[in-house]
Copies of this chain bind each other. A is one copy, B any other.
Amino acid sequence: MNADALRGHMDALLLSVLEGEPLHGYAIIEALQARSGGSLSVPTGTVYPALRRLEQAGYLASEWATVGGRRRRTYRLTSSGHRALAGERAAWREFTGVIGSVLDPVGERLGREG
């Protein structure tokens, strides 16, 4: 998975894995990998700054916890974050539609239209 392609979609990814349940950074990375069938390895240097950015934007809220002697910062979606996620999903559908229409112009995708 090319790293550059992810740019601009990281927020959607992070908000999405936090939709079901609050998670801490390390667990978010594992969840991303699990959900993608192992093909998405997001480095910590990407995730932690992104989570802070999303918290600062009001989409996430965090609190510290200590489990088994280890400190964790657990993030959860705010109501603003839920709305942002809905927007990200809509943007994703529009994005794939637009790029798809250029990569597979009408007449070349007959096999896929059923």
Determine whether A53 belongs to the interface, using a CB cutoff of 8 Å to chain B.
no
The interface on chain A, measured as residues whose beta carbon lies within 8 A of the other chain's beta carbons, has a size of 34
* Identical chains bound together, number: 2
Structural contact, B2 and A102, CB atoms closer than 8 A:
no
Given contacts A103-B13, A103-B16, are A5 and B95 in contact (CB under 8 A)? yes
Check A102 against B4 for contact (C-beta < 8 Å).
Answer: no
Indicate which residue in B35, B88, B98 contacts A39 across the interface (CB closer than 8 Å): B98
- A residues at B contact (CB < 8 Å): 1-9, 12-13, 16-17, 32, 35-37, 39-40, 88-89, 91-92, 94-96, 98-105
Listed A/B pairs (19) with beta-carbon separation below 8 Å: A1-B95, A2-B8, A4-B8, A5-B9, A6-B8, A7-B7, A9-B99, A12-B99, A17-B102, A32-B102, A35-B101, A36-B98, A37-B98, A39-B98, A40-B98, A89-B104, A92-B99, A92-B103, A96-B100
